[in-house]
């Protein structure tokens, strides 16, 4: 007599598909599916879903549901290194052999000893393990693939999974994998856009601001930094050493911008363009945040030098800070667009940074910034609890028709208030030019 295998309850399939269509978080999607399967009588105690992701810091992501803890998410680095968690897993074993299914009775199969994970599950009282791999778009099963996901299903039931249980899991796998694929692709898209364009630009692109000429006018504090002697360093150092140096610099400078809530809009060679929109927090907070980021960037570099970082010793950079109106949007050809900030203020902040080199100051701000900050806003979060702006007088900026009054930010100065009332050039300002 042939045993009939029950199909998943229609409510379960509907719930899984609804989670995918409803743009629910991947954790909600997995938890919904597992709870419904348990309610349908499948004795699940642990379910694991793993897949590769496109991310600058991580190679893979895993979602694990357990009866005790619910859903937990974990990210993995270095998946392809010897003795990594992935290399020692049943998934790697299956992918290396082009196999989509693996089954082990944890309470007696000898193969359990070959996999640390299975030994651990056995020690925790699990009795049966089923791994199923789904390849997207007919992609070949291989360890490096990004086009698929691995799932594993485990029980503590003394008799393990019955054939009916396994049939139910296989049948529910297709709608679950389809819904997960949608969520995974969406996450990969967001990660890629945020990594290469920043979350503000990435969010606008995903929201539909993709037409040439689409954009808006914003008031913002602009932030521009440039690495000193980059050409000489590039000529002197091996490629890997120079790239390592650049990354240390970017960690200090761009990292400080992001810590203070700013957006890194562009990295052109060794120059960083960032901005702090004057939205709900207002112009004062945008300027104060930009100044805090400038001070913090120099503080980060000083700390790395003090710690003996070999690359940090070779790094020096200047920062310019300005405030103005910019056009924030798309420009380019019909087939190749760039989303960024455009306008006179962008040129002015770059020229202000140029003056930091000429005036031998690590951070130079324009009067448009100095006139908008007060002591409490500028001092909050500074490396020494306070920051000081010193008047450098009025200066011509290359290519800018109107002279600008400039101020030096003392990134390690005493706890004094910001001064705005000095004449165009003071003795202190003259000293700063020497």
Residues 199-433: name the CATH superfamily: Nucleotide cyclase, GGDEF domain (3.30.70.1230)
Q: pLDDT, tens digit, for every residue of 137-155?
A: 877 888 888 888 899 999 9
The span from the CA of 51 to the CA of 189, in Å, is: 15
Average of pLDDT values for 190-215? 71
171 versus 71: which is more confidently predicted?
71
Domain limits of the chain?
10-196, 199-433
67 versus 383: which is more confidently predicted?
67
Three-state secondary structure string covering the chain:
CCCCCCCCCHHHHHHHHHHHHCCCCHHHHHHHHHHHHHHCCCCCCEEEEEEECCCCCCCEEEEEEECCCEEEEEEECCCCCCCCCCCCCHHHHHHHHCCCEEEEECCCCHHHHHCHHHHHHHHCCCCEEEEEEEEHHHCCCCCCCCCEEEEEEEECCCCCCCHHHHHHHHHHHHHHHHHHHHHHHHHHHHHHHHHHHCHHHHHHHHCCCCCCCCEEEEEEEEEEEEECCHHHHHHHCCHHHHHHHHHHHHHHHHHHHHHCCCEEEEEECCEEEEEEECCCCHHHHHHHHHHHHHHHHHHHHHHHHHCCCCCHHHCCEEEEEEEEEEEEEEEECCCCEEEEEECHHHHHHHHHHHHHHHCCCCEEEEHHHHCCCCHHHHHCCCCCCCCEEEEEEEECCCCCCCCEEEEEEECCCCCCCCCCCCCCCCHHHHHHHC
Per the prediction, the chain carries an average pLDDT of: 82
pLDDT at 256 over 90: yes
pLDDT at 189 over 80: no
Residues 10-196: name the CATH superfamily: GAF domain (3.30.450.40)
- At 11, the pLDDT band (50, 70, 90 cuts) reads low
pLDDT at 360 over 50: yes
Radius of gyration of the chain (CA): 28
Evaluate whether 106 touches 129 at the Cβ level (below 8 Å): yes
Average of pLDDT values for 84-102? 93
pLDDT at 207 over 80: no
Tallying the residues shown for the chain, one arrives at 434
Specify the pLDDT at position 141: 84
Lowest mean pLDDT among 90-104, 298-312, 415-429: 415-429
């Amino acid at each position: 007599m042939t045993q009939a295998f029950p199909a998943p309850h229609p409510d379960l399939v509907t719930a899984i598909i609804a989670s995918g269509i409803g743009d629910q978080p991947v954790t909600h999607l997995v938890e919904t599916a597992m709870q419904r399967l348990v309610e349908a009588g499948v004795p699940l105690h642990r379910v694991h879903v793993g897949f590769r992701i496109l991310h600058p810091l991580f190679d893979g992501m895993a979602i694990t549901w357990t009866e005790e803890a619910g859903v937990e998410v974990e990210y993995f680095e270095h998946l392809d290194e010897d003795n990594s968690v992935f290399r020692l897993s049943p998934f790697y074993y299956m992918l290396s052999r082009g196999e989509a299914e693996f089954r082990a009775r944890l309470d007696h199969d000898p193969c359990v000893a070959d996999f640390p994970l299975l030994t651990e599950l056995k020690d925790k009282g699990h009795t049966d393990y089923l791994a199923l791999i789904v390849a997207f778009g007919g992609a070949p099963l291989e360890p490096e693939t990004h086009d698929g996901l691995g799932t594993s299903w485990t029980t503590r039931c003394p008799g393990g999974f019955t054939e009916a249980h396994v049939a139910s899991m296989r049948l529910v796998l297709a709608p679950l994998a389809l819904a997960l694929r949608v969520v995974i692709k969406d996450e990969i898209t967001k990660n890629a856009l945020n990594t290469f364009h920043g979350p503000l630009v990435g969010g606008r692109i995903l929201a539909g601001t993709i037409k040439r000429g689409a954009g808006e006018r914003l008031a913002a504090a602009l932030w521009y930094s440039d690495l000193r002697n980059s050409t000489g360093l590039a000529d002197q150092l091996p490629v890997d050493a120079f790239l390592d140096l650049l990354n240390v610099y970017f960690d200090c400078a761009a990292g400080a911008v992001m810590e203070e809530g700013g957006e890194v809009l562009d990295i052109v060679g060794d120059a960083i363009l960032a901005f702090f929109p004057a939205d709900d927090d207002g112009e004062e907070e945008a300027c104060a945040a930009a100044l805090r980021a400038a001070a913090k960037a120099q503080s980060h570099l000083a700390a790395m030098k003090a710690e003996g970082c070999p690359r940090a010793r070779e790094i020096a950079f200047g920062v310019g800070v300005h405030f103005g109106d910019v056009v924030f949007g798309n420009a380019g050809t019909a087939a190749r667009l760039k989303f960024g900030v455009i306008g006179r203020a962008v040129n002015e902040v770059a020229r202000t940074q140029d003056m930091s080199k000429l005036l031998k100051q690590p951070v130079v701000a324009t009067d448009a910034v100095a006139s908008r900050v007060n002591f409490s806003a500028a001092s909050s979060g500074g490396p020494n609890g306070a920051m000081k702006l010193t008047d450098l007088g009025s200066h011509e900026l290359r290519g800018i028709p109107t002279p600008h009054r400039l101020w030096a930010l003392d990134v390690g100065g005493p706890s004094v208030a910001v001064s705005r009332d000095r004449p165009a050039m003071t003795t202190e300002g003259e000293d700063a030019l020497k």
